[in-house]
Structure 1
């Protein structure tokens, strides 16, 4: 089964709790997030979510992933897939660590599996750009607060 992954990183001048509070405030995503334009659902493991994501230069899509983990100040992960098993599954994640007092290192990525992976090169590159755009917007929002 084909696989792939995207990993982006950014340093934020604020503690992980401050970064988490912006990530967890999903209702405010339309105000600042250039990649995830809509997000609905409780951040509780096993919970269903509904979100709309739009990579730069590509058409957006609405997804209904399942939350895998939502550990305050540390981890946010969800998994989504296409309705036909084996075509495409993605596990999206945010990992927050504190390399120094008052600082956060954010790792934001996604691991993919499925038969469609070899056909998605352009979409995955645009998605990586979208992740980086989101990271920058998150950094700006958190550091402004």
Structure 2
């Protein structure tokens, strides 16, 4: 009986160690940058107008809640398998500069997603960065995320140009 208990305790410890290792080493980064020939004010306006997302945003198709420091939002994200409902907390909100949101279940899968606007000659560099962490990354097929974020960044540019010029030059 004692041998069984030792084996059970040893197995549990080993499984916990394995999960902790997977949780700590699972990490994926998604990064896009695009130049938009418009001021940060106009790009920011497009990002903040979440009510219009369903009309033009191919990935973030709906946002419930308001973007402000500490606020909780619910993002509806289009994935190859359907619409994902993702809860997040706005961890950084600097008007005209940065929107950062975080969420997930610690150890299993967490995300840290941000939009950053950098004024450059002739416009704005829009940077989208997400860092995902957790054990689930070892089995999750995230191959769709980078192309989806590239599509989203391009869609922001198209939306800005449409608002400025009435076309998507």
Give yes or no for TM over 0.5: yes
Residue deviations 1:101-137, cap 9 Å, x none?
Answer: x4000110201110111212x3x22011111111111
CA contact (8 A) 1:78 1:92 kept: yes
Number of positions where the alignment pairs a residue of Structure 1 with one of Structure 2: 139
Write 1 or 2 for the structure with the bigger share of helix.
2
Structure 2: gaps spanning 5 or more residues? 1-23, 164-169
Between structure 1 and structure 2, the one with the greater Rg is: 2
**Match for residue 13 of structure 2?**
none
Runs of 4+ in 1 over 6 A off after TM superposition: none
1:36-59: CA deviation from partner (whole Å, max 9, x where unpaired): 01101111111010110013x332
Q: Does 1:136 align with 2:158?
A: no
2:110 to 79, 84, 89: 89
The CA RMSD measured in Å over matched residues stands at: 1.1
Q: Give the alignment's TM-score, normalised by structure 2.
A: 0.78
SS in 1 for 2:71: coil
Which runs of no fewer than 5 residues in structure 1 stay unpaired? Answer: none
Does the 8 Å CA contact 1:4/1:113 hold for their aligned counterparts?
yes
Report deviation, 1:67: 0.5
TM-score (ref. length: structure 1): 0.91
Choose which of 24, 36, 53 in structure 1 pairs with 2:60. 36
- Work out which of the residue numbers 43, 55, 63 in structure 2 matches 1:19: 43
Confirm or deny that 1:64 pairs with 2:87. yes
User: Taking CA–CA contacts closer than 8 Å with sequence separation of 6 or more, which of the two structures ends up with the larger relative contact order?
Assistant: 1
Q: Which residue of 1 aligns with 2:34?
A: 10
1:53 is aligned to 2:77: yes
